[in-house]
Amino acid sequence: MRLTNQAEPPKSQLTQTGTPSPTPLVTRSETRSSKCTFRDAAYGQESDMPLVEVTLTEGRSPEQIRALISEVTAAVAHAISAPTPNIRVVVREVPDTHWAAGDVTIAERRNQK
């Protein structure tokens, strides 16, 4: 999508230098609900933009994290028919000494075994 016949593009479509972005993929649509919706330029319609956050203890390989991202993305696309480009997945890795349940960290639980 090229910006044509517009005096000034919206700020959301500008790069850091202030020049128009050559091909904006999504533009924000205002909504009053807590659900984030976007007008998807490729699909020409408003669609959900799901965000999935996964928190794990450290220790998995980059390949395992990448596989997790792919599987979560596919599951969300299948479950709610969201376009794959709209799905966001954030993976956070936490040290096992920084995650506790019942005042016992995961590291302490592992050491008790």
Respond yes or no: is residue 22 known to be catalytic.
Answer: no
Type of residue found at 74:
A
Active-site residue, from 9, 10, 22, 50:
50
Report whether 40 contacts 82 (CB < 8 A).
no
Backbone angles phi, psi at 47, to 5 degrees: -145, 155
Q: Is 76 exposed, middle or buried (0-12, 13-18, 19+ CB in 10 A)?
A: buried
Active-site positions read 50
